[in-house]
Structure 1
Amino acid sequence: MGDWKTTLLLASFLVQAVLGLVFYGIPAIMFSKVLPEFFYLELAWSLKLFILGYFLTALLSLYYLGVSPRLETGRLFGTVYFAFGMLGSVWVIVESISSAETPLLFVAFGIWFATSLCGIIALWLAGERIPEAAAAAVMALLGVSALISTLIAEWVAVDYYVHASMKGGPENATVVVGLVGCLSISRTRAEPSLLRHA
């Protein structure tokens, strides 16, 4: 499969694809944290579009790194994908430190951050294409992860608007974090938790 840099790059995509299938609320949590409050208050419905765009950068990166090799273009899309993964992970971890979130949240986003960092490093060190078959396989996994995450984001947005219209306000909305097909639902407090005002 090439040298260690190519293997590390492929592994970074692969780990995030699998992690996205297990904890399929990760992208929704990241975007709801990073997006400005005024934006999320008015346009929570668009959360799924941001998630699709996020995963699209990963798919395009793998496509240009392996399926139809244009390494510089692949590196550009990959850098955008991994850079946002690092930013979003740090943001979630920092804002959740003072809350009573499950340690599993910190583990999941810690892995997401570490693989994003490794991905960026490997992107610019690797000098050869990713094997086409391997790139296609990871793209398939990322595609499934994107679909599931988008459906979850739609659920979160609907739930957000329902609670925002109630007397209790949006701070009582529920948050979904998937774990091997199970839904763990928690309530947020006034302090930032899993989702901004969700």
Structure 2
Amino acid sequence: MVSRWQRSFQRSGWSTRRWVATLLFCVLMVAALAACGADSTSTTAQGAQSPTPTPTSTSMKTLQARKCGSIQTNPRGLPVDSARAKQSATCFWQAYQKCQPAMLEFDHTSVDALAIHTFNIRTSDQHCSVTDDVQHSVLPAKPVGSKTYTCTAVSSKPDGLHFSACGDAGDVTVPM
């Protein structure tokens, strides 16, 4: 006895082989997309340093934060655009070393989730701090709400920028 679903499947003209071939094609496409951005470049390691705030004057307090750009990763954790990632990370690292206001966005994508980190360098009364504003989402939903944490340190290493002890977000590595 053939079920109604099986009869419908047989009438549609789709064979089992065709379904398997379509499924295999989809799996290969996902694997190819995940392989995008697999290029990894290394840079010279620079250890964690405490930034030295530059002297503040009335004109410096009104400066806007430098927008260093954004870094996006594929589900394998590698930058989608390694040249852009390196440029953005270098911009943020240089601003951090001088304790100059700057912003860097890091979109960490996994297979079914997205975490958006917005790092900001802030200065006040000769004190420099780095904050991490984090939004989470389970795909395909859009991120809602955010939490802001203060990180204890930033260091530049061959694999990227390392943000230490950023509250509940913990240690965050931004690849470049």
Instruction: Tell me if TM exceeds 0.5.
Output: no
Q: Whose RCO is larger (CA < 8 A, sep 6+)?
A: 1
Over alpha carbons, which structure has the higher Rg? 2
For normalisation by structure 2, the TM-score amounts to 0.27
For normalisation by structure 1, the TM-score amounts to 0.25
